[in-house]
Amino acid sequence: MIKLVLSDMDNTLVPLGASFVSERTMEAIHEAMGAGVRFGPATGRDYFELLRFFRMDESCIRTGILSNGKRVRVDGTYVKTVLIPRDALVRIDQALRPEKGMFLVCYPEDTNLLNPAYGVGTTSEELAVFERRTRFNGAVVDEVPDEPFIAATIACPGPPERMDRCRQIVAEAAPELRIVSPIPEWFDIMPQGVSKAAGLDVLLEALGITADEVAVFGDAENDLEILGKVRHSVAVANAIDEVRETANYHIGSVDEEGMADALFDIAQAARAGEMPRFLS
């Protein structure tokens, strides 16, 4: 039986750019939880961002893998937190300066529902493009502020070759960090060894369940590692090619509310003591 459902957010549970999880998907989440199945996000988003997406319904995020594994949450308590070293972010910022259009965005550990973030060494106009796309409230600063950061991202507008160039820059400037792309023209920054997959190991131990009792849903590059760790790996129809090839199962697209259909199926199966039909 499935005891835990972990879902990516952007373009898996909610369309990129949407403000909230749909009412039908929220209903499906609660249906699954009511049937005894834990639900949680496995996402690059952090707590307050998620609280806003879930319409202030904290029950949907009491357990999960947040900030690409930098936080792991179990029943409302963080069992793991990893911050990004400021000195490494400073080196990345300096290395990005000669690259037109590329810039660093830093998210403070001490945050709130407005999801404030710093766009480093960019312009208000450049920052606004990604504010609208990824739903944060940015302020332009000249250098990386001296405070703790739970997350950081890189804006990288342009063709795929630019993305490759950005990977090279980060690898040389801060080898203790790595970057993965959740959406085009955008990278998440993580310490080496930190990932959704590593967060899953922490979560399984804390909950006392096995990987075969987990269903993981995703669509993008930052989902590949965790999808590869579980038998019940599921791609939405709009997923990138690599995710569709990695996943063992497939559901409808985010625009078709494929996750809601899957969660209703999981709830029905849990009550019957069976496996969901789409995992057959």
Average pLDDT, the chain: 97
Residue 83 DSSP class: P
Q: Is the pLDDT of residue 229 over 90?
A: yes
pLDDT of residue 280: 84
Q: Is the pLDDT of residue 50 over 90?
A: yes
- Domains belonging to the chain, first-starting first, are 4-81+194-279 (3.40.50.1000), 86-191 (3.30.1240.10)
Write the pLDDT tens digit of every residue in 76-109: 999 999 999 999 999 999 999 999 999 999 999 9
Of residues 160, 157, 196, the one with CA closest to residue 178: 196
Q: What is the pTM of this model?
A: 0.94
Q: Is the pLDDT of residue 237 over 90?
A: yes
Write the pLDDT tens digit of every residue in 9-22: 999 999 998 999 99
Q: What percent of the chain has pLDDT over 70?
A: 100
What string of DSSP letters covers 93-161? HHHHTTSTT-EEEEEESS--TT-EEEEET--HHHHHHHHHHHT-EEEEESS--SS-EEEEEEE--SSHH
Write the pLDDT tens digit of every residue in 101-130: 999 999 999 999 988 999 999 999 999 999
pLDDT of residue 112: 93
Q: Round to whole Å and give the CA distance between 222 and 130.
A: 18
